[in-house]
Amino acid sequence: MKKSSKTFFITFLLLLSLMSIIRPVFSKEINKNGRQAIPVLMYHSITEDSRKIFSVNKKDFYNQMKYLKDNGFNTLSLDEVYEHMINKKPFPEKSAVITFDDGYKDNYDNAYPILKELGLKATIFVVTGNVDEGSYYLSSEEIKKLQRDNIDIQSHTVNHLKLSKLTQNQRIKELSDSKEYLEKLLNKKVKYMAYPYGKYNENVIQDVMEAGYKMAFTTNQGWMNLDQGMYSLKRVIVGGHMRMGTFKKLVKFD
Q: Which is nearer to Zn ion, 101 or 152 (CB)?
A: 101
User: Quick check: 60 binds Zn ion (CB under 5 A)?
Assistant: no
Residues 194-233 touching Zn ion, rule: CB under 5 A, are 196
Q: Which is nearer to Zn ion, 204 or 226 (CB)?
A: 204
Distance separating alpha carbons of residues 60 and 71, to the nearest angstrom: 16
Shortest reach from residue 227's CB to Zn ion, in Å: 26
Q: Which is nearer to Zn ion, 42 or 120 (CB)?
A: 42
Distance separating alpha carbons of residues 24 and 30, to the nearest angstrom: 9
Residues 168-197 touching Zn ion, rule: CB under 5 A, are 196
Among 39, 45, 102, 142, binds Zn ion (CB under 5 A): 102
Which stretch of DSSP H or E encloses residue 233?
strand 233-237
Distance separating alpha carbons of residues 251 and 254, to the nearest angstrom: 10
Distance separating alpha carbons of residues 172 and 14, to the nearest angstrom: 58
- Please work out the total of residues on this chain that contact Zn ion, with binding judged by CB under 5 A: 3
Q: Which is nearer to Zn ion, 175 or 226 (CB)?
A: 175
Distance separating alpha carbons of residues 126 and 103, to the nearest angstrom: 4
CA 204 remoteness from chain centre:
19
Shortest reach from residue 219's CB to Zn ion, in Å: 8
Among 32, 76, 78, 101, binds Zn ion (CB under 5 A): 101
Orientation angle between helical segments 168-186 and 202-210, nearest 10 degrees: 40
Site residues (vs Zn ion, CB under 5 A): 101-102, 196
